[in-house]
């Protein structure tokens, strides 16, 4: 066997007998850690689908920088978000807690809209706060979407500074809000259709400096300006370790890119936008080398949820996965994920299970920070740095407060489904859950519950354990309905 180019980190799934004892790589020499806690760069795309990158199989979007990051680091095939829409996914990322535990979700309202009351509750501890506590400089350059009231701004939740949008780039429509109008605007996006503001905020000696830089935000420049801002932030950090969070506004529709990327991609406007994000990743990587800190920086690239299929050719692709954003099928919640840290992250394609929920715990362990609040995450260090099995073997798929599906090893059971492939959403409860073996049926096509009673029982037992460990908080995002009624 020619093993030159494979790191066969195989899952030691308890239910997947044939994987056991095979292909597990001996831990290689791990380079000496560079001095001091590492810098963390977290790159977070918006609605980028599982199939949108070259390294994940897209035929036309050219993403050489992200693909190279993947080739030099780890490219994960089974990495998840904790919700299939923006706000709860971001809340889970920053807290390491599932949405039903924090309350950052809604059963009526899926995400925060402009002027909604509330926002990320003060009781929650963010990754930024934990890192700030151990001496990190913290900056966010991009979309927040955890409440636009000032009390909910990122500078009130552990970030020293922020440049970005308070919510999605398609909110604040100009001239009415009918669905018909929206679809016309999405299909032929023009800057004047959206009035979303670009904000800047920082923590000062005596409080906060908050300003609206421009309104409407010049969306064609956002990817470029976020990139410049994060590089400037890294440069200004000097010897202090930093946490830089770059939640791109793109490729969420409406699609905007700077002049150099117009008609650049074979994949159309969506491809242009993806390729500008890829450019951004290349610029940031180069800056890490230029600043001489690449060997002490962990870079993570992932996405907040699956592709928005309703946007047709203005949206992304889930590759061979079923469905997209807004659903609990794999296309909704499994996302591209790349980890890179030269000399530390072991190279390879990884099919261990991971989640954005785990980033807080993983990063905190490296920084010596307190992650005790991040109870739904695990430290992925064994996979990243030693090529060992993941401490995570389960994924919960919630929609609002309801657990729709659950994965244990290769087995995924659907208790409720909503959203069919290429058909209008339609809620369906399954008295006998649908059961898929994701490893041999990644597209969730063949229900095998009838032939795998043991596997189904194991998933159901895991669900009972999971539920016993969760107190469901009231939905923060639905609060405005109560306000409106009051």
428 binds a second copy (CB under 8 A): no
Under rule CB under 8 A, residue 485 binds a second copy: no
Quick one: which segment of 218-226, 227-235, 280-288, 385-393 binds a second copy (CB under 8 A)? 280-288
Residue 56: CB minimum distance to a second copy, A = 5
Is 6 among the residues that bind a second copy (CB under 8 A)? yes
User: 18, 58, 86, 263: which one is catalytic?
Assistant: 86
Q: Are strands 137-141 and 348-355 parallel, antiparallel or unpaired?
A: unpaired
- Name every residue whose Cβ is closer than 8 Å to that of residue 467 and which is 6 or more positions away in sequence: 403
DSSP conformation class of 59: S
Task: Return the number of the residue (87 or 253) whose C-beta is nearest a second copy.
Answer: 253
Residue 445 or 465 having the CB closest to a second copy: 445
Cβ distance to a second copy smaller for residue 159 or 340 = 340
Among 176, 180, 259, 422, binds a second copy (CB under 8 A): 422
Query: How far is Cα 24 from Cα 17, in angstroms, rounded to an integer?
Result: 14
Q: Could you say whether residue 14 binds a second copy (CB under 8 A)?
A: no
If the CB atoms of residues 58 and 97 are measured against a second copy, the closer one turns out to be 58
CB atoms within 10 A of CB 450: 9
Interstrand relation of 402-408 and 394-399 (parallel, antiparallel or unpaired): antiparallel
Which residues in 77-136 contact a second copy (CB under 8 A)? 77-78
- The reply on whether position 340 binds a second copy by CB under 8 A is no
Contacting a second copy (CB under 8 A), which of 27, 28, 36, 59?
A: 59
Q: Is 18 a catalytic residue?
A: no
d(CA 306, CA 138): 27
Contact 91, 146 (CB under 8 A): yes
**Spatial CB neighbours of 398, under 8 Å, sequence gap ≥ 6:** 82, 83, 88, 98, 99, 100, 105, 328, 404
Q: In this structure, what is the dihedral angle of CA atoms 204, 205, 206, 212, given to the nearest 10 degrees?
A: -10
Angle at 354 between CA 353 and CA 358, to 5 degrees: 150
Q: Is 86 a catalytic residue?
A: yes
Of residues 18, 58, 145, 466, which has the active-site annotation? 145
Least distance CB 300 / a second copy (angstroms): 19
Binding track, positions 212-251, relative to a second copy; x by CB under 8 A? ----------------------------------------
Residues 6+ apart with CB under 8 A from 481: 108, 109
Rounded to a whole number of angstroms, the minimum distance from the CB of residue 459 to a second copy is 19
Contact 469, 103 (CB under 8 A): no
By CB under 8 A, residue 279 contacts a second copy: yes
Query: Cα separation of 242 and 132, whole Å?
Result: 9
Longest dimension (CA), the chain: 70
Cα(262)–Cα(473) distance, rounded to whole angstroms? Answer: 45
Q: Which positions lie near a second copy, rule CB under 8 A? A: 1-6, 8, 10-11, 18-19, 22-23, 51, 54, 56-60, 62, 64-65, 67-68, 77-78, 260, 263-264, 266-271, 279, 282-283, 285-286, 312-313, 317, 319-320, 349, 351, 421-422, 437, 439-443, 445-446
């Amino acid at each position: 066997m020619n093993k030159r180019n494979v790191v066969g980190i195989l899952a030691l799934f308890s239910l997947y007998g044939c994987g056991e004892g095979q292909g597990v790589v001996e831990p290689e020499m791990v380079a000496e850690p560079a001095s001091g806690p590492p810098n963390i760069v977290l790159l977070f795309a918006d609605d980028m689908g599982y199939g949108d990158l070259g390294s994940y199989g897209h035929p036309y979007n050219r993403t050489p920088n992200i693909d190279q990051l993947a080739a030099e680091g780890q490219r994960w095939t089974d990495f998840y978000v904790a919700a299939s829409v923006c706000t709860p996914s971001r809340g889970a990322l920053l807290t390491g807690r599932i949405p039903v535990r924090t309350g950052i979700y809604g059963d009526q309202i899926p995400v925060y809209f402009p002027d909604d009351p509330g926002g990320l509750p003060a009781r929650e501890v963010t990754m930024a706060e934990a890192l700030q506590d151990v001496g990190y400089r913290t900056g966010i350059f991009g979309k927040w979407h955890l409440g636009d009231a000032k009390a909910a701004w990122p500078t009130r939740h552990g970030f020293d500074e922020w440049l970005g949008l308070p919510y999605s780039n398609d909110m604040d429509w100009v001239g009415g809000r009918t669905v018909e109008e929206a679809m016309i605007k999405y299909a032929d996006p023009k800057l004047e259709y959206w009035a979303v503001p670009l904000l800047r905020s920082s923590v000062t000696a005596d409080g906060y400096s908050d300003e609206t830089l421009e309104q409407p935000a010049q969306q064609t420049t956002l990817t470029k300006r976020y990139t410049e801002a994060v590089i400037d932030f890294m440069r200004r950090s000097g010897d202090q370790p930093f946490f830089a969070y770059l939640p791109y506004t793109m490729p969420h529709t409406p699609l905007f890119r700077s002049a150099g990327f117009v008609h650049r991609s074979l994949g159309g406007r969506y491809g242009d936008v993806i390729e500008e994000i890829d450019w951004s990743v290349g610029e940031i990587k180069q800056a890490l080398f230029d600043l001489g800190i690449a060997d002490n920086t962990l870079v993570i690239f992932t996405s907040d949820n699956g592709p928005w299929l309703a946007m047709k050719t203005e949206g992304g692709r889930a590759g061979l996965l079923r469905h997209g954003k807004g659903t609990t099928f794999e296309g909704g919640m499994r996302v591209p994920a790349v980890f890179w840290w030269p000399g530390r992250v072991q190279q390879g394609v990884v099919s261990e299970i991971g989640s954005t929920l785990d980033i807080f715990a993983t990063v905190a362990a490296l920084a010596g920070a307190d992650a005790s609040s991040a109870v739904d995450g695990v430290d992925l260090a064994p996979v990243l740095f030693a090529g060992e099995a993941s401490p995570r073997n389960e994924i919960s798929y919630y929609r609002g407060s309801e657990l729709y599906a659950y994965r244990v090893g290769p087995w995924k059971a659907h208790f409720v489904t909503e959203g069919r492939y290429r058909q209008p959403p339609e809620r369906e409860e399954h008295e006998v859950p649908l059961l898929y073996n994701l490893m041999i049926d990644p597209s969730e096509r063949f229900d095998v519950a009838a032939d795998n009673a043991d596997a189904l029982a194991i998933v159901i037992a895991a669900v009972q354990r999971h539920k016993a460990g969760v107190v469901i908080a009231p939905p923060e995002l639905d609060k405005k309905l109560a306000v409106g009624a009051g």
